[in-house]
Amino acid sequence: MIILRKVEDIREFLEKRKKSGQNTAFIPTMGALHAGHISLLNSAKSEGHYTICSIFVNPTQFNNQQDFAKYPKTIEQDIYALEHAGCDLLFLPSTEEMYPNGQKSTLQYDLGYLETILEGKYRPGHFQGVCQIVHRLLDIVPTDYLYLGQKDYQQCMVVQKLIELLDIKTTLVICPTQREASGLAMSSRNMRLNDTEKKQAAKIYETLSHIKKALKAGELNEIKETATQKLIDAGFTVDYVEIAESSSLKIINNWDGHMPLVALVAAYLNEVRLIDNLLITN
Ligand code: AMP
């Protein structure tokens, strides 16, 4: 695996290898890698793509400075895991490389409705930071395919919107959420949970599965309230439990029995904020 840290170097390298004709797949991450990240890489490799991963903990997408400061960092293990999984190229830039003119963005991305709900509502500025870094990364690493995880459902929709807004020539590939045997969605933030909390955290998936089972046409408020209460009883502080149209994330309170839906949860277990989602209709 080749490791490059400078924007100039990776630009030059990718320009040279363009001639190979092999498609590229880019997998941006914030490190503290787990099997979820590696599943994205495996998926890209199984398509025969040249695989490029990046590790950069982007400060501008953290609306909470403590969360940024406490974000897990396991760079040596990450390099080993990527090498072992057969990643071709790792981009490992510093903050100065990514933001040579400072972190304040001069652009405002018009995300419309998507930024007013769920993560957009509870983490003000978060998606502007996501767009800022994805814009910058895709400018440095032009790619045929961009691999993201369904675990961050709303983020996938925001990035798709960004691709359209900026007319970026890439195809988004969304990979399924990888889970622990308990159902807990794999996440770098899980490293901040102790064993008892990890067991508790599995309640999120249990709750999403319960929503899927209980779903029927008509009013959805009761299902949402029961689910929220389940999480509160399990010791969570809940930001939201929502049910939305899966293609637009429009919040649904009354279901016609046909529209494809996704259930989404964000909740704190002590200091750690966890998110998860589940498609609840086919
Ligand atoms: P992150 O390092 O958390 O920014 O995640 C990097 C990429 O990995 C994003 O596209 C995430 O959606 C994806 N990802 C994170 N957790 C999982 C998971 N459990 N399963 C599949 N993809 C994931």
State whether the beta carbon of 190 lies less than 6 angstroms from ligand 1.
no
Pairing of strands 89-91, 2-4: parallel
**Measured in angstroms, how far is the CA atom of residue 148 from the centroid of ligand 1?**
7
Any idea what DSSP says for residue 251?
Answer: B
Flag whether pLDDT at 258 surpasses 90. Answer: yes
Options 3.30.1300.10, 1.20.1440.20, 3.90.1150.10, 3.40.50.410; CATH for 188-276 is 3.30.1300.10
Please write the tens of the pLDDT for every residue from 202-254.
Answer: 999 999 999 999 999 999 999 999 999 999 999 999 999 999 999 999 999 99
State whether the beta carbon of 156 lies less than 6 angstroms from ligand 1.
no
Separation between Cα atoms, residue 204 and residue 189, nearest integer Å: 14
For ligand 1, mutation pick of 37, 67, 276, 277 (most atoms within 8 Å of CB): 37
Domain boundaries, the chain: 2-175, 188-276
Please write the tens of the pLDDT for every residue from 151-210.
Answer: 999 999 999 999 999 999 999 999 999 999 999 999 999 999 999 999 999 999 999 999
- At 137, is the secondary structure helix, strand, or coil? helix
Going by alpha carbons, the residue nearest to atom 13 of ligand 1 is 149
Please write the tens of the pLDDT for every residue from 42-74.
Answer: 999 999 999 999 999 999 999 999 999 999 999
State whether the beta carbon of 29 lies less than 6 angstroms from ligand 1.
yes
Question: Is 49 a residue of the active site?
Answer: no
- Which residue, 153, 143, 149, is CA-closest to 173? 149
Percentages helix, strand, coil for the chain (3-state, rounded to 5) are: 45, 20, 35
Q: What global pTM score does this model have? A: 0.98
For ligand 1, mutation pick of 29, 78, 272 (most atoms within 8 Å of CB): 29
Per the prediction, the chain carries an average pLDDT of 97
CATH architecture of 2-175: 3-Layer(aba) Sandwich (3.40)
State whether the beta carbon of 192 lies less than 6 angstroms from ligand 1.
no
Separation between Cα atoms, residue 108 and residue 139, nearest integer Å: 17
**Measured in angstroms, how far is the CA atom of residue 98 from the centroid of ligand 1?**
20
pLDDT band for position 282 (cuts 50, 70, 90): confident
Mean predicted confidence (pLDDT) in 265-271: 97
Helix ranges, the chain (H): 7-17, 35-46, 65-69, 75-85, 95-98, 118-122, 126-140, 153-166, 195-201, 203-214, 221-233
According to DSSP, the residues that pair with 242 across neighbouring strands are: 264
